[in-house]
Structure 1
Amino acid sequence: MSEHKGSTVSITGHRHTVAEEPVTSVLEGGDIPVNKGDHEWNADEEVLASLGYKPEFKREFTLWSTFCVSFAVLGLLPSFASTLYYGMGYAGTAGMTWGWLVAMVGIQSIASSMAELCSSMPTSGGLYYAAAVLAPPGWGPLAAWLTGWSNWLGQVTAAPSVNYGTASMILAAASIQNASYVPTNYQVFLLTVLLMIIHSVMASFPTRWIAQVNSAGSTFNIIALVIVIIIIPAACDRTAHGLSKFNPSSDVWGTIYDGTDFAPGVSVLMSFVSVIWTMSGYDSPFHLAEECSNANVASPRAIFLTSAMGGTFGWFLQLVVAYTVVDITAVLESDLGQPFAAYLNDILPQKIVIAVLSLTIIAGFAMGQGCMIAASRVTFAYARDDVFPLSRIWSHVNTYTRTPVNAVWLNSLVGTLCLLLIFGGELAIGAIFSIGACAAFVAFTIPIVIRVFFVGNRFRPGPWNLGRASIPIGAVGSAFVTLMVPILCLPSVTGRNLDPASMNWTALCYGAPMLGAVVWWVVDARKWFKGPKVNVEHLMLGRGGEVIEGKVVEGQVRGVSEGEVKGVGL
């Protein structure tokens, strides 16, 4: 790990200074970045330079606006509505109540460990950078490669999955208004693509505009969530079905719905796909760190708060639905094609159903926008290090907006292609939810596993850290993901009931691209991919304090035989 001591080094008559920064860097120990710009680095720029990168974005995100993007990506209300089919359908109300609490123990552990890594390495590369730096000698590039591709798969499927859920709710609202209308697959597809295009245009705008829009969207998300949590139990009319106002607690907490062919305990674990996918957006502050002021404190705080607040409010929403649902089977099999809309239609007057759906749709729109922004920053960061074919194109920062516009539209194209799964049926398109959950948590966990089991107490924490609890918390999170990844790939039916239409396609849709990435690594990428590439010029301290100047051109160190920047930093 590099430890920059705030040294002042003179070369060709100029003085180059980097303040002492608590960072874990890809630069070799003793390397000092060189400031050849027109102004002195501020604190955030010094931290970024210590990580090996020059500033390319305007730092117009604050703790609040960063949290807003993250909470918008989390999108509790639209996320819950989009994944109700799995949360309620696999294990019923038991999976929604105590199942959510069990899942949140593992999820909050992952979020806390990620926040600690972010404080030590606040760069857009995020988990990918952390995996490269923390891995044992010689393994950094491979760790970065696997983390990067898994994280990108999770990011690139986020916006299409969110927009698919939003489009489905819009058309379900139309069905409620006009009982003779039944949405078709091509209508869902076209509406979802339209949302993708709108979000791509919005994500291409300047950072300040994006921050303001997302602050408004996240504020609306929070307000809408509180309104829905209050209005559903207040306006619930279960008595029209000859039932009590609420379901008895013994049924809510103790009855596991027979939604899979597996044992009840496994069904509860399978229902966690709803929790995991809903709670997988808290990594966004990591990827926005280069656009956030006071990033090594504000960004990890935003990660931790997003997960903690999301978990709490999400559980309240789960309780509300669990205590008011009338007939789970009817909700899952409704002609409306959207379980949340069907659930609302069972217990609320039509005008209130439309009102709640409208709030959810607007919140879903804001969520899709946040997902598009976060994904574009991930794509930019990886393209900056030549992870993708034609990386030079995708890593270009628009000279007018100062945002990675090309990366936005690459993600939009890939996401639109993923939406073709709509024509394969409900379970086929459902794979993009499982892919997002599986891919994201694998990427989240790789650097945490390395930090816990390979680095241990040698880890250099940033200003926001977990102290002595760091390793135990990281171990809990790692164990949770190790358990859940195979569970996320299980189909809901087995034996003779299993056919292509009821198959869980997650293993194929996630496994095939990852297998392709592994094959690419073995055949070719290992020869040229060395992990994160720095793009600042830096000074390397040779034997006896000799100062050598390392020229960096587009991430390549030139003219120094033993000064190559490595993807390993211990």
Structure 2
Amino acid sequence: MSDRSTAAKVQAVQDADAAALAELGYKQELHRGMSGFSNFAVSFSIISILAGCITSFSIALKSGGPAAINLGWPLVGVLVLCVALSMAEVCSRYPTAGGLYFWAGRLAKRNKRAWAWYVGWFNFLGEVAVTAAIDFGCATTMMAFAALTFGVEPTPGGTFALFVVLMVIHALLNSFGVKIVSFLSNVSAWWHIVGVAIIVAALWLMPTSHQSFDWTMTAWHNETGFTFGPYVFLMGLLMSQYTYTGYDASAHVAEETKNAAIAAPKGIVMSVVISIIGGWILLYSLVAAIPDGSEEGLTTLGATATGLPPAQIFLDALGNPGVAKFLLAIVVGAQFFCGMASVTANSRMTYAFSRDNALPGSRIWAKVNARSGTPTNSIWLCVGCAIVLASPALFNTTAYFAVTSVAVIGSTSRTSPPCCSAGSTRTSYRARGTWGNGVPSSTG
């Protein structure tokens, strides 16, 4: 095939993408330079089983223990996959950066603007909280790494300062253009896959013993102060639900993706499927490698001086501080990529929401940098809001868990209206989309 023929086909796809966007009422402003794999990589990076599972591990450890970790992960994963399948079909018909709020407005039978406004604000706040939680978690892990490697004592002020630096770096990377974001997203996807493989191999090959299958799947541990088991188990699911956020990012970067009507929905579904499998393998391996499975041992693990129970598992189970530090460095790298991708998705949603005049100062946030083809103002707005949201962590370390709770509530609340509407109006939009699941996937 000649270069001219290939170029013509690429141009035809780009023209079709621009035409599809124009049909939805918008002109092409963002630079469309992402491949299908890069689109998937953004969502996969935000889910980030290495970031979410590692930083929020203690939530499930203290709220149900191994049972909440290893039973909760697949349970939440299957439910999230149902939502992702619904999203994918709608995304194929409406491949726009607005994502959920735009779909809610289009699919609602009445009060369309009200539903779009409601979902959009939950989406905006939820994604700001997710961005703050990811980078604060990254800063926490970096401080744990510094404590292990250099003997630096983690402090709230030091952790917050590092968090701010990370936020600024991620804002700068996103401001440079979609090409660097695409490249780093691709690197991130492989970093996660290879990184999980290395960590799992170390956890199975180096320890002299492992916990039994029954203990790993059913052992119960409760430090919440509540005695009602089902409620405690639900609290433990927060780890899984927090990690399974951000898979709608493939929709938010749809206007920068080639052949978006196919690539974006595929990115949504595959990011969840691979995360379910990889995350379960990682979590099972971590729990099985816990040296002391007694109540006292689990309590001690949850109160580790590193501030990160998985880091303590690396140290205790592997018996080699050098390898433990290396594994933690892999986690830090994954979290860095995760934060970058979260800023990408957050800023694109904010840009789209502002384009529809839904945010105060929308004219400012909807501007696209002519040189880079990115919504630079929205990028810095999201970063600024995330820093403000996480600022209470300067005074109380439990603020991180409050931020993760806001992230989960915002992320969950935004998905319900469009997915329920999709279930009730499925036949009216599916015929015009190019991606279909073949079976009903919505709970609506």
TM-score by length of 1: 0.72
Which runs of structure 2 are paired with 1:230-241 in the superposition (5 Å)?
Answer: 230-237=201-208
Within 1, Cα distance between the matches of 2:392 and 2:275? 29
Could you tell me which residue of structure 2 aligns to residue 169 of structure 1? 141
Within 2, Cα distance between the matches of 1:40 and 1:355? 43
Question: Is 2:121 aligned against 1:133?
Answer: no
Q: Between the two proteins, what is the percent identity of the paired residues? A: 28
Could you tell me which residue of structure 2 aligns to residue 539 of structure 1? none
Could you tell me which residue of structure 2 aligns to residue 182 of structure 1? 153
Question: Is 2:221 aligned against 1:257?
Answer: yes
Which residue identity does 1:73 align to in structure 2? I
- Equivalent in 19, 25, 38 of residue 65 of structure 1: 38
Which runs of structure 2 are paired with 1:113-262 in the superposition (5 Å)?
Answer: 113-137=86-110, 139-178=111-150, 181-237=152-208, 245-260=209-224, 261-262=226-227
Which runs of structure 2 are paired with 1:442-453 in the superposition (5 Å)?
Answer: 442-453=413-424
Within 2, Cα distance between the matches of 1:76 and 1:301? 19
Write the deviation string for residues 382-426 of structure 1: whole angstroms up to 9, x where unpaired. Answer: 010111111100000001111000000001111111121213423
Within 1, Cα distance between the matches of 2:246 and 2:368? 24
Within 2, Cα distance between the matches of 1:145 and 1:226? 42
* Structure 2 counterpart SS, 1:247: coil
Q: Does the 8 Å contact 1:112/1:304 carry over to 2?
A: yes
Q: Does the 8 Å contact 2:72/2:237 carry over to 1?
A: yes
- Equivalent in 227, 230, 234 of residue 269 of structure 1: 234
Could you tell me which residue of structure 2 aligns to residue 486 of structure 1? none
Could you tell me which residue of structure 2 aligns to residue 346 of structure 1? 316
Within 2, Cα distance between the matches of 1:345 and 1:159? 29
Q: CA deviation at 1:66?
A: 0.7
* Structure 1 counterpart SS, 2:210: coil
Which residue identity does 1:75 align to in structure 2? S
* Structure 2 counterpart SS, 1:426: coil
What 5-or-longer segments of structure 2 have no aligned partner? Answer: 1-11, 292-296
TM-score by length of 2: 0.92
Within 1, Cα distance between the matches of 2:436 and 2:406? 30
Within 1, Cα distance between the matches of 2:370 and 2:383? 21
* Structure 2 counterpart SS, 1:42: helix
Within 1, Cα distance between the matches of 2:18 and 2:370? 20
Question: Is 2:313 aligned against 1:337?
Answer: no
Structure 2 CA distance for partners of 1:192 and 1:47, relative to 1, 3 Å: same
Could you tell me which residue of structure 1 aligns to residue 276 of structure 2? 311
Could you tell me which residue of structure 2 aligns to residue 474 of structure 1? 442
* Structure 2 counterpart SS, 1:312: helix
Which residue identity does 1:189 align to in structure 2? F
More helix by percentage:
2
* Structure 2 counterpart SS, 1:160: helix
- Equivalent in 369, 379, 390 of residue 408 of structure 1: 379
More strand by percentage:
1
* Structure 1 counterpart SS, 2:430: coil
Q: Does the 8 Å contact 1:92/1:259 carry over to 2?
A: no
- Equivalent in 216, 241, 244 of residue 279 of structure 1: 244
Which residue identity does 1:122 align to in structure 2? P
Q: CA deviation at 1:362?
A: 0.8
Which runs of structure 2 are paired with 1:557-568 in the superposition (5 Å)?
Answer: none
Which residue identity does 2:246 align to in structure 1? G
Write the deviation string for residues 147-204 of structure 1: whole angstroms up to 9, x where unpaired. Answer: 000011111122221111111111112222355x421100000001000011000010
* Structure 2 counterpart SS, 1:474: coil
Moved over 6 A (4+): none
RMSD: 1.7
Q: Does the 8 Å contact 1:156/1:415 carry over to 2?
A: yes
Q: CA deviation at 1:460?
A: 3.4
Q: Does the 8 Å contact 1:229/1:320 carry over to 2?
A: yes
Q: Does the 8 Å contact 1:111/1:303 carry over to 2?
A: yes
Q: CA deviation at 1:254?
A: 2.1
What 5-or-longer segments of structure 1 have no aligned partner? Answer: 1-38, 238-244, 479-570
Within 2, Cα distance between the matches of 1:41 and 1:203? 22
Q: CA deviation at 1:428?
A: 2.2
Q: Does the 8 Å contact 1:259/1:267 carry over to 2?
A: no
Q: CA deviation at 1:40?
A: 11
Within 2, Cα distance between the matches of 1:40 and 1:188? 46
Q: CA deviation at 1:458?
A: 3.4
Tell which has more relative contact order, 1 or 2 (C-alpha 8 A, sep 6+).
Answer: 2
Write the deviation string for residues 220-277 of structure 1: whole angstroms up to 9, x where unpaired. Answer: 122112111111221225xxxxxxx111122122222123314222222211111111
Which residue identity does 2:211 align to in structure 1? N
Comparing 91-100 and 110-119, the one that deviates more? 91-100
Which runs of structure 2 are paired with 1:398-437 in the superposition (5 Å)?
Answer: 398-437=369-408
